[in-house]
């Protein structure tokens, strides 16, 4: 080996060691940075000069299978979390067994207050208490219905925000694709761009699960599990119109709520094979268009049952054929065509409500009575109590087909809501554990600071050896010059 050959080899070694130490430092510094992938230096023999080494490039170490599995877990966890929060809120609105203000307990309190009033129908305080218990029950159903409306409005708002963000991030990925291609063709390092792109893909994936397909020169395409092409060269465009209100009767089918469009064409937001299924966006649509609607049907069924019990023919001899009963649809009799949203309109007949100018003695003497009757006559109160406790078919059968009393129906509502909340919590727990485990496995393939420090020590040794070669060459040159 000539002196010049040794010098060139040592210089190339110093250059490679310098680049390697920089990569190790970057790896250690970004060990906890989300989206960062470990870098390694790729070296090859210097074919042109035949001596030394040449930096062939920088490899960004990732496992596509692990990343895809972790992204699937991220999307599942986001979907489960959204659904679980809705069911948890619904359980709070209905109330629990130990909550005195829960709908089932208020039903029981109303029933008990009628028994107390019937035992002493001349006591004004007991009549007032029975009317107050009825008011409390109707207001609890009103609040639950309002809570569902709020949940639908929140879901609609979330959809709009996610769509805006989704469109923006897809455009950003399209731009980074272009930068990656340009940088790669010019021989530059694209690792930082790939880290940034991976973070953006992860963000898209949480909203809409995606599959990543490689394209030429480092660019990628994004496809959803349902087959929609979110990005392939150009980014797709989602369209959605937020609605300031989401009343119970408003649906996508009747055109009062916005559906979702992609590149100008409507797409399905629910069901097997939905182009957006599996992430937080699909969960928001599920809450707005399915879960909240079904929950509203349950509340409306309870409200309908309560109204119809007190509208039974012959129950109150003082009421006319078209007069409303003890419980009303915003002051009117119930009409089957107006069942949607009924729980939000349920109220006590103003004729017996002292807070609205009525008289509670009409609970004893009849809703149509013009003056108080015999204070000891409990027949009408007993009739109201019997109407509340009689088992009867429930319209629509949302809680089964068996006959139920009002208390049975309240218990069925509580059971249904509690079971839904419990199942949603179980699914969330499973999804969260799966996500945590997939992140742990992915991190194991990431930066190991112990390994990086060992690598740094090897780099330092290589650097010192090459420096020693240069020092030796310098000494030889000095010796030759002195001859």
Residue 95 CB-half CA count within 13 A: 19
- The string of DSSP codes covering 126-177 is HHHHHHHHHHHHHHHHHHHHHHHHHHHHHHHHHHHHHHHHHHHHHHHHHHHH
Per-residue pLDDT of 226-261, as tens digits, reads 889 999 999 999 999 999 999 999 999 999 999 999
Q: How confident is the model at residue 115 (pLDDT cuts 50, 70, 90)?
A: very high
- State percent of the chain over pLDDT 90: 68
Whether residue 355 sits in one domain with residue 218: yes
- Same domain? For 55 and 78 the reply is no
Mean pLDDT check: name the lowest of 23-32, 43-52, 162-171, 460-469. 43-52
Co-location of 293 and 174 in the same domain: yes
397-449 pLDDT per residue, tens: 788 888 999 999 999 999 999 999 999 999 999 999 999 999 888 877 777 77
Q: Are residues 50 and 169 in the same domain?
A: no
Q: What is the pLDDT of residue 25?
A: 80
Compute the mean pLDDT over every residue in the chain, rounded to the nearest whole number.
90
Number of domains in the chain: 2
Burial 218-234 (b: 16+ CB within 10 A, else e): bbbbbbbbbebbbbbee
Instruction: Give a yes or no: residue 442 inside a domain.
Output: no
- Residue 289, domain member (yes or no): yes
Q: Does 422 lie in the same domain as 300?
A: yes
- The answer to which of 132-146, 298-312, 457-471 has the lowest mean pLDDT is 457-471
Question: With bands split at pLDDT 50, 70 and 90, how would you rate the model's confidence at 286?
Answer: very high
The pLDDT of 122-148, averaged and rounded, is 97
Could you tell me the pLDDT band of residue 454, with boundaries at 50, 70 and 90?
Answer: confident
Looking at the fold, whether 185 and 314 belong to one and the same domain comes out as yes
In a domain, 159, yes or no: yes
Domain region containing 7: 3-61+448-482
The pLDDT value recorded for residue 360 is 95
Q: Which of the pair, 447 or 327, is modelled with greater confidence? A: 327
Task: State whether 141 and 178 are in the same domain.
Answer: yes
pLDDT at residue 425, rounded to an integer = 97
pLDDT of residue 64: 84
Give the C-alpha separation, 297 to 340, whole Å: 7
Q: Is residue 232 part of a domain?
A: yes
Residue 225 lies in a domain: yes
Q: Is residue 443 part of a domain?
A: no
My answer on whether 167 and 234 are in the same domain is yes
**CA distance between the termini of the chain:** 21
Task: Say whether both 224 and 359 belong to one domain.
Answer: yes
Q: What is the pTM of this model?
A: 0.88
pLDDT at 12 over 90: no
Inside any domain, residue 355: yes
Q: Please tell me whether residues 170 and 85 are part of one structural domain.
A: yes
pLDDT digits (tens, 9 = 90+) for 136-177: 999 999 999 999 999 999 999 999 999 999 999 999 999 999
Q: What is the pLDDT of residues 187-220, one digit of tens each?
A: 888 888 988 999 999 999 999 999 999 999 889 9
Q: How many C-beta atoms lie closer than 10 Å to residue 349's C-beta?
A: 22
The counts of H helices and E strands in the chain are 12, 11
Do 157 and 104 reside in the same domain of the chain?
yes
User: Quick one: DSSP state of residue 400?
Assistant: B
DSSP one-letter string for 101-114: TSHHHHHHHHHHHH
Residue 441 placed within a domain: no
Q: In what order do the strands lie in the sheet with 238-239?
A: 238-239, 260-262, 265-267
Dmax over CA atoms of the chain, in Å, equals: 139
Higher pLDDT, 163 or 6: 163
Contact 279, 75 (CB under 8 A): yes
DSSP string of 339-362? -TTHHHHEEE-GGG-GGGT--TTH
Per-residue pLDDT of 42-90, as tens digits, reads 777 766 666 777 776 677 777 788 889 999 999 999 999 999 999 999 9
Residue 10 has pLDDT above 80, yes or no: no
Q: Are residues 386 and 452 in the same domain?
A: no
Confidence of residue 318 (pLDDT cuts 50, 70, 90): very high
């Amino acid at each position: 080996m000539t002196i010049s050959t040794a010098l060139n080899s040592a210089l190339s070694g110093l250059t490679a060691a310098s680049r390697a130490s920089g990569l190790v430092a970057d790896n250690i510094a970004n060990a906890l940075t989300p989206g960062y992938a470990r870098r390694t230096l790729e070296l090859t023999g210097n074919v042109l000069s035949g001596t030394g080494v040449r930096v062939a490039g920088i490899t960004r170490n990732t496992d596509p299978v692990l990343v895809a599995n972790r992204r699937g877990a991220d999307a599942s966890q986001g979907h489960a979390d959204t659904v679980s929060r809705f069911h948890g809120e619904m359980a709070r609105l209905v109330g629990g067994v130990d909550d005195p203000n829960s709908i089932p307990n208020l039903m029981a309190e109303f029933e008990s207050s009628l028994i107390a009033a019937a035992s002493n129908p001349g006591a004004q305080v007991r009549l007032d208490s029975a009317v107050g218990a009825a008011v409390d029950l109707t207001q609890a159903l009103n609040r639950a219905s309002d809570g569902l409306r709020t949940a639908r409005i929140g879901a609609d708002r979330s959809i709009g925000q996610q769509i805006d963000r989704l469109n923006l991030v897809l455009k950003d990925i399209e731009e980074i694709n272009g930068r990656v291609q340009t940088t790669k063709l010019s021989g530059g390092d694209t690792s930082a761009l790939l880290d940034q792109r991976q973070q953006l893909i992860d963000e898209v994936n949480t909203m809409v699960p995606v599959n990543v397909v490689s394209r030429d020169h480092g660019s990628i395409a994004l496809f959803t599990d349902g087959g929609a092409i979110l990005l392939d060269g150009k980014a797709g465009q989602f369209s959605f119109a937020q609605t300031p209100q989401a009343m119970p009767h408003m649906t996508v089918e009747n055109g009062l709520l916005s559906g979702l469009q992609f590149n100008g064409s409507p797409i399905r937001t629910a069901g097997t094979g939905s182009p957006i299924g599996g992430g937080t966006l699909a969960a928001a649509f599920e809450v707005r268009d399915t879960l909240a609607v079904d929950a509203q049907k349950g509340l409306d069924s309870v409200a309908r049952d309560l109204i119809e019990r007190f509208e039974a023919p012959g129950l109150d001899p003082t009421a006319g054929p078209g007069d409303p009963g003890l419980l009303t649809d915003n002051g009117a009799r119930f009409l089957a065509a107006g069942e949607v949203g009924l729980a939000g309109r349920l109220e006590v007949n103003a004729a017996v409500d002292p807070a609205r100018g009525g008289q509670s003695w009409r609970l004893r003497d009849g809703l149509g009575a013009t003056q108080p009757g015999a204070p000891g006559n409990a027949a009408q109160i007993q009739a109201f109590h019997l109407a509340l406790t009689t088992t009867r078919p429930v319209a629509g059968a949302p809680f089964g087909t068996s006959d139920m009393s009002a208390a049975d129906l309240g218990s069925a509502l509580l059971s249904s809501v509690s079971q839904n909340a419990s199942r949603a919590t179980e699914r969330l727990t499973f999804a969260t554990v799966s996500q945590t485990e997939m992140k742990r496995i992915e991190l194991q393939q990431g930066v190991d600071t112990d390994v990086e420090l060992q690598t740094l020590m090897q780099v330092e040794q290589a650097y010192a050896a090459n420096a020693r070669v240069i020092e030796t060459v310098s000494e030889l040159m000095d010796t030759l010059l002195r001859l």
